[in-house]
Amino acid sequence: MPTSQPTSGPGPGREPPQGPKGEAFLFVLPARLEYRDAARAFLSHLCLRMEAQHHIISAFVEAFNNSVLHAYEGGPPGAISVDVFLGDEILRVVVTDEGRPFEPRDVPPPDLDALPEGGLGLFIIESFMDRVRYDRIDGRNVLSMEKHIAKAEEVALSEHTGAK
């Protein structure tokens, strides 16, 4: 069974989180493609502008795929944690696994004119997100992706009032 654990807010007995205002959520999922949609469905319901939502989901899917198909390839099954931080102007998704190290610099940029059939995942992530950072921390691959966002209700309001 998946151990999906969406959490929100500080919770009882804990100090309120420090740092920028927003809400944090955490999913811990078995590193199998079947469980990816639990977190994707959550990201689909964040009420963002559609284009931004499509971009975020595209990037998340590629990141999760990379963890399952490359980091854990041929090794023991592991877990993938998906940390989501939703701030007023930013959405951050951090995908962490304990698989083999990933070296983004080893991935050449795709030649789109040649219609490549693979090697597109990192390109999709870096193209659709505003800030992408990879770290290897304590035996974990930590891929942090951020996108500037406007929440859908704010977009609707500004369009209605003419406010910028």
β-pair partners for 86: 23, 91
Q: How far is CA 96 from CA 6, 117, 142, in A?
A: 16, 26, 5
Q: Which of 30, 38, 49, 58 binds other proteins (CB under 8 A)?
A: 58
> Which of 43, 46, 68, 82 contacts other proteins by CB under 8 A?
68
Q: How far apart, in whole angstroms, are the C-alpha atoms of residue 156 and residue 20?
A: 24
Q: Which amino acid, one-letter code, is at 47?
A: C
Residues 122-141 that bind other proteins (CB under 8 A): 124, 127-128
Q: Which ranges of 22-95 would DSSP assign to H, the alpha helix?
A: 36-44, 50-66
57 contributes a contact to other proteins by CB under 8 A = yes
Per CB under 8 A, 111 contacts other proteins: no
Applying CB under 8 A, the residues found at the interface with other proteins are: 33-34, 37, 40, 50-51, 54-55, 57-58, 61-62, 65, 68-69, 112-113, 115-121, 124, 127-128
